[in-house]
Amino acid sequence: AAVSPDGRTLALLAQDRIDLWDVRTGRVTRTLSGVDAMQTPFDFTGRTLAAVDWDDGGVHAWDPRSGRSTLRIPEPDGGVDGLAASPDGRWLALCTGGHAVQLWDLTHRRKVSAPWVAKARAADCRDHALDFTPDSRTLTVVGDDGIHGWDPRTGRATPLAKADGLTQVWPGGDGTFLVGTGPHRLVVWRAARPWVPVLRR
């Protein structure tokens, strides 16, 4: 399950569809069919809902406001173990086999081929191994040495938040903080000063 950023819509994976529920009325407002998305990577932002089809391994993306399909990607080599959609609806990032990252431009419906994308590798391919900041200006990826970030428009790298043992990244609600988690640790940084952790546990 996933909740929209405004808290008004609940997306539930069903047998062969995704149901969008209005949490105030308790009614299904839209059904996205044609995907068996049970127990697979799943993301829901205000402008994009993305899921991996359990049957064929392909990635589906929709505009949840209209229900329109915005992209369908055949299964990448090694499959998809994690994905993240940008809040502005422009980007879709995939964590694929071998911990490689793919970036797709949803506006132009094409895969982004750039040198910096090839450098983006996750320490462990899973949900939240990569994520976008709330302003959609940075794709964050958890690597072996910490959290790396890139501007998807320019490829410019952002300062590294150093820490080992992390497997997931969680940008704070308004982008002020960056949270890294792993099996045995949690680290919090201010996004503007990622070289100085404010909390380690």
- Predicted confidence at residue 149, as pLDDT, reads 94
Q: Note whether 23 and 6 are within 8 A (CB).
A: no
- Does 39 score more than 70 pLDDT? no
Band (37; pLDDT cuts 50, 70, 90): low
pTM of the model: 0.90
Nearest CA to 81 among 67, 100, 64, 63?
A: 100
Beta partners for residue 139, in sequence order? 132, 150
Separation of alpha carbons 106 and 16, rounded Å: 24
- Predicted confidence at residue 34, as pLDDT, reads 74
Nearest CA to 95 among 128, 62, 67, 58?
A: 128
Average pLDDT value for the chain: 90
Band (38; pLDDT cuts 50, 70, 90): low
Count other C-beta atoms under 10 Å from residue 176's C-beta.
11
Q: Please write the tens of the pLDDT for every residue from 12-22.
A: 887 788 899 99
When pLDDT is averaged across residues 85-92 and rounded to a whole number, the result is: 94
- Predicted confidence at residue 55, as pLDDT, reads 82
Which residues make Cβ contacts (< 8 Å) with residue 31, sequence separation at least 6? 17, 18, 19, 20
Q: Please write the tens of the pLDDT for every residue from 62-80.
A: 998 898 989 999 998 889 9
Separation of alpha carbons 124 and 189, rounded Å: 21
Look up residue 172 and give its two tokens. 């704070």
Separation of alpha carbons 67 and 76, rounded Å: 24
3-state per-residue secondary structure call for the chain:
CEECCCCCEEEEECCCEEEEEECCCCEEEEEEECCCCCCCCEEECCCCEEEECCCCCCEEEEECCCCEEEEEECCCCCCEEEEEECCCCCEEEEEEHHHEEEEEECCCCEECCCHHHHHCECCCCCCCCEEECCCCCCEEEEECCEEEEECCCCCCEEEEEECCCCCEEEECCCCCEEEEEECCEEEEEECCEEEEEEEEC
Q: Please write the tens of the pLDDT for every residue from 165-193.
A: 999 998 877 889 999 999 999 999 998 88
- Does 146 score more than 80 pLDDT? yes
Highest mean pLDDT among 10-24, 27-41, 130-144: 130-144
When pLDDT is averaged across residues 149-169 and rounded to a whole number, the result is: 92
